[in-house]
Structure 1
C-alpha cells in the first residue's frame, strides 16, 4: 500500500487590530512566521479577520451603524492588492498553505470572502459567503456558487465555508461531493455567548464525520478592552465573551488536540490521511452510501452577473494598495501559546 501523507495543520485564535488593516495584516504575517517554527504546513485564520469582523453590526441598531460601516469600507481588502500580495509572498517564503477570511471590497459592495493561498504564493481560491447571516445582511452582499469548489493544494484537496454556512447542508454536500480532504471552517468568535462555541463544536464534528475529512476551525478573539470599545452595554458585552472554539477534528469526529476557547494563539496537529480511508470504508456519503437515483443535488456554479454584455475588463476604482509604503510586517509578538502537536498512531 502506498504511503499516506501526514500534514501538520494549525488553527489560529487571534484578535484583529480594530483600528487598521495594516495592523491586522501585521498580526497575520507574524503568526505565519511563528507557526512555521513548529513545522506547520497549513494555517487557518478566522472569518473576515482582515481588517476585522463587523462586530458593531451585531450590537448596534442599523440607524447607528453608518460611521462604522463606512470605516470598514475604507479598511476593507481589495483582491488583488498589496495586502493579498503580502500574504502570498509570506506563504511562499514559509512554504505554507494559508487560509484567511477578509472583508472584500468590490467597488461599491463588501463581501465576506475566504482566500486560500498555496505554498507557491498563488491565490488558488476566492469564494464569497453565499448568504450573510442575520445582522450581516446589512454589511455584505451575497456570494454565488462559483466559489463552492474544492481546490488542489500542496497539502491536499481543500474546501472552505464560513460560520453558519455550515448549517446549509446542500452547501456542505457540494464540497463533500468534490472529495475534500481538509475542510477549513472560519467563525468570528463569540456572538451569543457560550452556546455559540457549543453549537460550533457540534457543527464541525458532524461535518468531519459526514464528509470523512479533517476540519480545521478557526475563531476570532476579542480582548476585554476591545469588547468595551465595541459596546458600553454590559448586556451586549456578554454576547462577545466565552463563545470561542478553535479546533482540529479528525474524520472520525474526534478532537486531535484540546480546543482553544480562551486567549490568543494557535493549536496544531498532524493529519494522517489514513484516517480518511478508515472513515470512508465504513460510510462514504458521496459514494457507496449515496443513492443518486433517489436523492441528488442540482448546483448553479455560474458567476452571478448583474448585466449581460459588458466587456470583460471593467475599471476598478479601488484596485490600489491599502497599505502604507513603509509597511514592513512588524515584529513578532511573544504571547502566542501553542498546544502540543500529535501524530495519529497506526
Structure 2
C-alpha cells in the first residue's frame, strides 16, 4: 500500500476568553472557528483553559483571598456532555474542521474537583481524544487536580497523526516521548496568556515567551513534527476582574511576558506569523511529508535509540474515585448512551438545517 502524506492549513487562535463565562466563550470560539474555516483551515487550535479562562489569580495573591474566583471557575467548569462543549462540537461539525480545545473540566463525582483538560474534536463533531494535564504546574496545584494518561494518545486523522500536550507538559520528556512513539506528525501545544512567578522587576522572573520558544522548538526538532502553539491573551475584562480584587496585581499583569502563538516545522523553523501583543489567528501550511527526511538524522523512536537499554511503560487506565460492581438494581447504561448519541445527531441536524 502506498503511504500518503496529508497536506492542510492549520490555525492557532491567539485569543482571550470571555473571562469566567463558558457560554459566551463558546460563542466566541464558534466565531473564530468559522473565520478560520473560511480561510481554509482544517485544524483550529485554542489556548490552555480557554473555556472559561486561565486562573492566573492563583499566582497573584494568597489562596485565602481566592475562594470567590475558585467558586466561579468551578461553576463554569464543563463536562464533556455540557452545553458549551456541545456548542463547539457542533461548530466543528458545521464547518468540517478539527478543533483542539483547552477547558476546565468538572465531574459528577465531586462539586469541587476540576481538571485542566484538552479535547480534540473531529470534523464530524466527535471527540477523538480527551486529555487531562498530568500534573498542574506550581500554583496551578491550588486549582486543578492531577490528571491521568487516558488521553496520552496520538489520534490518527485524515490530516495526519495529531498529539497534544498542555503548557508545562511540553517540558516533560517522557510525556513527549510517549507521543513520539505513537507516530505523531502534528503536535498541538496550548499555553496561558501570562504565567508570573516573580514580580517583573525582580531578577529571575519567568519569561513565558522564551519558555514557549524553547519547548516548541525542542519538540518539533526531536519528534520531527509540526508544532502548533496556541496561547491565551489578557484582555481588559480579565485584567479588570482580577484588578478589582487586588489592585497591586495589575503591575504584575501589565509587565509579565506574554504567551506567544506560532507554528514550527519539523526542523524547528517558524513557518507562521507570531502573535503576542494583540488577538488574532495565525495560519500555516502543513505538509506531513516534511516529517520524513529529518527522521534519517535522528529518529529517537526508531534506529536512533537503544531499546535494549531504555524502556518506557505508560499506564493509560483511568483514575476514578470509586469502582462499583453492578447489581440487579443498576440500570444498563448502554441504551442511555445510544439515546444520548441519537440526541446529539438530532441536535446537529436541527442546527445544520437552520444555518
Q: TM-score, normalised by structure 2?
A: 0.84
Q: Which ranges of 4 or more aligned residues in structure 1 deviate by more than 6 Å?
A: 312-315
Residue 75 of structure 1: CA displacement?
1.1
Query: Secondary structure at the residue paired with 2:260?
Result: coil
**What is the match of residue 150 of structure 1?**
154
2:181 is the alignment partner of 1:177? yes
For the Cα contact (< 8 Å) 2:194–2:253, is it kept in 1? no
2:237 is the alignment partner of 1:236? no
Per-residue CA deviation, residues 279-313 of structure 1 (Å, 9 max, x unaligned), is: 11221110011111011212211111333444498
Distance in 1, Cα, partners of 2:309 & 2:278: 47
Residue 223 of structure 1: CA displacement?
1.9
Residue 225 of structure 1: CA displacement?
4.8
Question: Within 5 Å, which residues of 2 pair with 1:193-342?
Answer: 195-231=207-243, 232-233=247-248, 234-238=250-254, 241-311=256-326
**What is the match of residue 116 of structure 2?**
112
Residue 200 of structure 1: CA displacement?
0.7
- What's the C-alpha RMSD, in Å, of the aligned pairs? 2.1
Q: 1:313 to 1:51 in 2, by over 3 A?
A: farther
Query: Secondary structure at the residue paired with 2:150?
Result: helix
Distance in 1, Cα, partners of 2:232 & 2:19: 12
For the Cα contact (< 8 Å) 2:273–2:283, is it kept in 1? no
Distance in 2, Cα, partners of 1:172 & 1:307: 29
Q: Which of the numbers 133, 137, 156 marks the counterpart of 1:133?
A: 137
Q: 1:243 to 1:278 in 2, by over 3 A?
A: same
Residue 46 of structure 1: CA displacement?
0.2
Distance in 1, Cα, partners of 2:88 & 2:236: 28
Per-residue CA deviation, residues 130-182 of structure 1 (Å, 9 max, x unaligned), is: 10011111111111112111111231111110000111111111111011111
Per-residue CA deviation, residues 113-132 of structure 1 (Å, 9 max, x unaligned), is: 10110111111111100100
**What is the match of residue 94 of structure 2?**
93
Question: Within 5 Å, which residues of 2 pair with 1:56-95?
Answer: 56-95=57-96
Distance in 2, Cα, partners of 1:105 & 1:2: 41
Q: 1:204 to 1:310 in 2, by over 3 A?
A: farther
**Greater RCO structure (CA 8 Å; 6+ sep):** 1
Distance in 1, Cα, partners of 2:332 & 2:225: 39
Query: Secondary structure at the residue paired with 2:292?
Result: helix
Shifted more, 149-158 versus 62-71: the winner is: 149-158
Residue 97 of structure 1: CA displacement?
0.2
